[in-house]
């Protein structure tokens, strides 16, 4: 580890709002320099994990999360998962977790869902959508009926992002209330576009028909009309 | 994270089809609105504005003074700006009817509004454009239209899904680069091989100290989907610097010069050499001493370079000895600039000159350049799948998590 990198990690111990970001720039430089060097990356990741486990200020932990977005592996997931229920750090934990490949990050997000409510839950749901894992469909489907409309809406949009056949089935069988029907319709149509792209126009048409049957808003009706046209319907 | 799933864009690009060929009209026909050949009940387009600082103020004046527009709503997270704009609109109509909003969602929920213009900081653009499409509004959005690659795909999809007219905001693409556009399209330069763009820096990390937030500012709404940070006047200043002291300088909100001017200069270059409907396949980073420059290779063989040593702004490598048939240069749908073009397309349901897909293609080049510079290496880009093939590290830069509760 270079002297500059040592200094950067030393600086992180007291890194707070107002500290010159150049004091920790060596971490970004190390990320670039260690591309393709698994051993060096593992060492760097270990250092970043220690920052998250330490009493370093919030701004310092955010620097670590940003770096783990680029180099984090399954090794980082446990400590990032501990931050998901922390109001101050949940977003930056997701900042890393949303982009870390492999099943561990998605599983950590799904597990943490049960521990939070409101905005934090919405955030985790959006990250699960961005990850587009079929493994998330069941848990997202259950959240479509959540009593918190913002959670149910987020779950619908996340299922739209997942976009699989399982996701569309979850959406079109959901009981849509006034607060959620717009999100469910939008997500259903997002999935239907995947179906059209896969030349499954029959399933797509059934999806648009379902949307049309749900007393849609003018905007949704317009969109569903276009979708039905794309399916070849008159 | 599953990056192997097919996407609609995947299908469109791999087959070379357009949305029209799929059966999706790119812009909703008036018949689908239930209007048939009958014009809308009002000859005026009812509009509102979201984000009304420097650029937003200019856009608002443009639309407010257009006789085709009835301007009814303003939205800004800064009370002073919000009230000033409301008073301006009320003064124009000599009434008190203009409504002022802090939260753009309340403005978008109004059924009487046909269209909105958006000029918030860049980190807000995609969410607000998508929400506007979902609400059935046509959209004019300032450039750069997106902050991440994934936002580009989702914005285009939302525009097409809801059949909305969505225009990007670079007026310079058509208006400022005639000296190079004309000979390229006119055929004088023969088949084009390359064009160079001169560009400034990319944005950087921001860690400014906390200051007292003005009482009339909703700081949480200003930050929106960006990581939380304490208020600092320089963090959110809308001045045009990309070198510090403005949100355009900082990577949580902007791509810096690369996106702010890139939307213009790269947009103009890709228009001139007619690759605006394409995205590059390769981004090649060359490092020579302390100088770095980029080459973007397009699938048709044309190369767009960025800061190539020895090359000037919009310098074209053509083949003047070879004949090339001239092509008609695309134009706005109406006289009066890019705003008038947008308004005309709302009426005709046509495609604006700076249709969102073309704007996204430009800003995609900017984002690819930022990622190559950030990672310090060359990249391959699969425009159909919207991924960096086999490059797990680069794929992490396609998007970033949004602060709760904001979601695309």
CATH code for the domain of A230: 1.25.10.10
**Are A104 and A122 part of one and the same domain?**
no
- Does the interface predicted TM-score (ipTM) exceed 0.95? yes
Interface contact flag, A95 B227, Cβ < 8 Å? yes
Helices B79-93 and B54-64, axial angle in degrees (round to 10):
10
Residue showing tokens 């949305």:
B19
Does A100 lie in the same domain as A51? yes
What CATH number belongs to B8-170+334-354? 3.40.50.720
The tally of domains found in chain A comes to: 2
Token pair recorded at residue B103? 């939260």
A102 plus A144 within the same structural domain: no
Give the pLDDT band of residue A10 (cuts 50, 70, 90). very high
| A-chain residues near B133 (CB < 8 A) | 219
| B304: its two tokens | 């767009």
Sign of CA dihedral B386, A98, B405, A169: positive
Grouped pLDDT means (10 residues each) for chain B, 408 residues: 46 35 48 43 86 97 96 98 98 97 98 97 98 98 98 98 98 96 96 96 96 98 98 96 95 98 98 98 95 97 97 95 92 97 97 98 98 97 97 98 97
List the alpha helices (DSSP H) in A144-217. 149-162, 165-172, 181-197, 201-212
Question: A212 and A134, same structural domain?
Answer: yes
Say how many CB pairs under 8 Å bridge A and B.
168
Rg (CA), chain A: 21
3-state SS track over A112-143? HHCCCCHHHHHHHHHHHHHHCCHHHHHHHHHH
Contact status of B220 with chain A (Cβ, < 8 Å): no
With a cut of 60, say whether residue A193 has pLDDT above it: yes
Residues A187 and A131 in one domain: yes
DSSP string, B316-358: EE--TTS-----PPP--SSSSHHHHHHHHHHHHT---TTBHHH
Contact between B74 and B86 under an 8 Å Cβ cutoff? The reply is yes
Residue A27 shares a structural domain with residue A93: yes
Beta strand B115-118 pairing with B99-101: unpaired
Nearest to B207 among A17, A197, A232 (CB): A17
The pLDDT-based confidence of A234 (bands split at 50, 70, 90) is: low
Within this chain, do residues A99 and A127 fall inside the same structural domain, yes or no?
Answer: no
Which token pair is B387? 């991924």
Q: Which residues of A touch B227 (CB under 8 A)?
A: 62, 91-92, 95
Sequence ranges of the domains in chain B:
8-170+334-354
User: Do A67 and A149 belong together in one domain?
Assistant: no
B212–A contact, CB cutoff 8 A: no
Nearest to A197 among B8, B33, B230 (CB): B8
C-alpha–C-alpha distance, residues B154 and A133, integer Å? 18
Q: A139-159 pLDDT, tens per residue?
A: 999 999 999 999 999 999 999
Which of A63, A168, A222 should be substituted to probe chain B, the one whose Cβ sees the most B Cβ atoms within 10 Å?
Answer: A222
Q: Does one domain contain both A154 and A214?
A: yes
Structural domain of residue A189, as residue ranges?
117-234
Which strand (E) or helix (H) includes residue B296?
Answer: strand B291-297
Mutation test of the interface with chain A: which of B114, B127, B164, B207, choosing the one with the most A Cβ atoms within 10 A? B207
Judgement on whether residues A3 and A52 belong to the same structural domain of the protein = yes
For residue B239, what are the CA distances in angstroms to B122, B160, B224, B236? 13, 33, 19, 9
Question: Which tokens hold the place of B369?
Answer: 């350049």
Using a cut of 0.90, tell me whether the model's pTM lies above it.
yes
Structural contact between residues A166 and A137, judged by C-beta atoms closer than 8 angstroms: yes
How many angstroms separate the CA of residue B177 from the nearest CA in chain A? 36
B79 neighbors B105 (Cβ within 8 angstroms): no
Regarding whether A101 and A140 lie in a shared domain, the answer is: no
Q: Which residues of A touch B402 (CB under 8 A)?
A: 91, 123, 126
């Amino acid at each position: 580890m270079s002297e500059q990198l040592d200094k950067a990690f030393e600086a992180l111990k007291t890194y707070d709002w107002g500290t010159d970001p150049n004091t920790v720039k060596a971490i970004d430089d190390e990320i670039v320099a260690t591309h393709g060097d698994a051993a060096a990356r593992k060492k760097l990741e270990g250092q970043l994990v220690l920052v998250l486990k330490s009493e370093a200020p919030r701004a310092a932990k955010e620097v670590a999360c940003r770096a783990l977005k680029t180099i984090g592996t399954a090794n980082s997931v446990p400590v990032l998962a501990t931050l998901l229920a922390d109001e101050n750090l949940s977003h930056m934990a997701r900042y890393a977790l949303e982009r870390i490949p492999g099943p561990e990050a998605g599983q950590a997000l799904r597990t943490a869902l049960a521990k939070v409510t409101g905005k934090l839950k919405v955030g985790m749901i959006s990250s699960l959508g961005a990850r587009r894992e079929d493994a998330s469909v069941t848990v997202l489907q259950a959240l479509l009926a959540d009593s918190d409309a913002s959670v149910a809406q987020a779950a619908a949009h996340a299922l739209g992002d997942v976009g699989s056949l399982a996701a569309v089935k979850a959406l079109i069988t959901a009981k849509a209330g006034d607060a959620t029907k717009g999100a469910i319709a939008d997500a259903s149509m997002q999935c239907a576009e995947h179906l059209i792209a896969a030349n499954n126009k029959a399933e797509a048409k059934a999806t648009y028909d379902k949307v049309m049957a749900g007393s849609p808003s003018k905007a949704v009706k317009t969109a569903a009309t276009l979708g039905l046209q794309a399916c070849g319907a008159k | 994270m599953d990056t192997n799933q097919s996407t609609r864009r995947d299908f469109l690009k791999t087959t070379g089809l357009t949305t029209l060929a799929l059966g999706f009209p790119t812009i909703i026909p008036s018949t689908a609105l239930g209007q048939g050949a009958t014009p809308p009940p009002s000859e005026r387009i009812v509009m509102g504005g979201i984000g009304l600082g420097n650029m937003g103020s200019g856009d608002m004046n443009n639309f407010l003074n257009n006789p085709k527009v009835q301007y009814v709503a303003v939205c800004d997270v800064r009370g002073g700006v919000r009230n000033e704009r409301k008073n301006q609109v009320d003064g124009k109509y000599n009434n008190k009817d203009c409504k002022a909003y802090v939260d753009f969602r309340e403005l978008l929920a109004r059924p009487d509004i046909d269209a909105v213009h958006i000029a918030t900081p860049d980190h807000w653009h995609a969410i607000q454009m998508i929400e506007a499409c979902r609400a059935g509004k046509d959209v004019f959005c300032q450039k750069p239209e997106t902050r991440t690659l994934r936002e580009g795909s989702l914005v285009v999809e939302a525009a097409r899904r809801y059949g909305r007219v969505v225009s990007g905001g670079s007026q310079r693409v058509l208006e400022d680069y005639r000296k190079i556009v004309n000979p390229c399209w006119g055929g004088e330069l023969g088949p084009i091989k390359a064009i160079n763009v001169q560009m400034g820096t990319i944005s950087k990390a921001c860690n400014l100290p906390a200051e007292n937030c003005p009482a009339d500012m909703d700081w949480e709404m200003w930050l929106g989907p960006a990581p939380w940070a304490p208020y600092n006047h320089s963090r959110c200043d809308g001045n045009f610097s990309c070198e510090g002291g403005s949100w355009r300088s900082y990577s949580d909100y902007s791509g810096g010069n690369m996106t702010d001017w890139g939307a213009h200069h790269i947009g103009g270059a890709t228009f001139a050499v007619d690759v605006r409907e394409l995205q590059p396949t390769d981004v090649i980073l060359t490092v020579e001493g302390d100088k770095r420059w980029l080459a973007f290779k397009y699938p048709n063989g044309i190369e767009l370079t960025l800061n190539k040593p020895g090359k000037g702004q919009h310098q074209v490598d053509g083949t003047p000895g070879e004949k090339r048939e001239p092509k008609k240069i695309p134009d706005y749908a109406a006289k009066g600039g890019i705003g008038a073009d947008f308004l005309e397309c709302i009426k005709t349901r046509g495609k604006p000159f700076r249709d969102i897909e073309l704007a996204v293609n430009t800003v995609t080049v900017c984002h690819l350049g930022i990622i190559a510079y950030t990672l310090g290496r060359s990249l391959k880009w699969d425009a159909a799948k919207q991924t960096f093939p086999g490059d797990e590290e680069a794929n992490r830069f396609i998007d970033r998590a949004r602060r709760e509760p904001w979601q695309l």
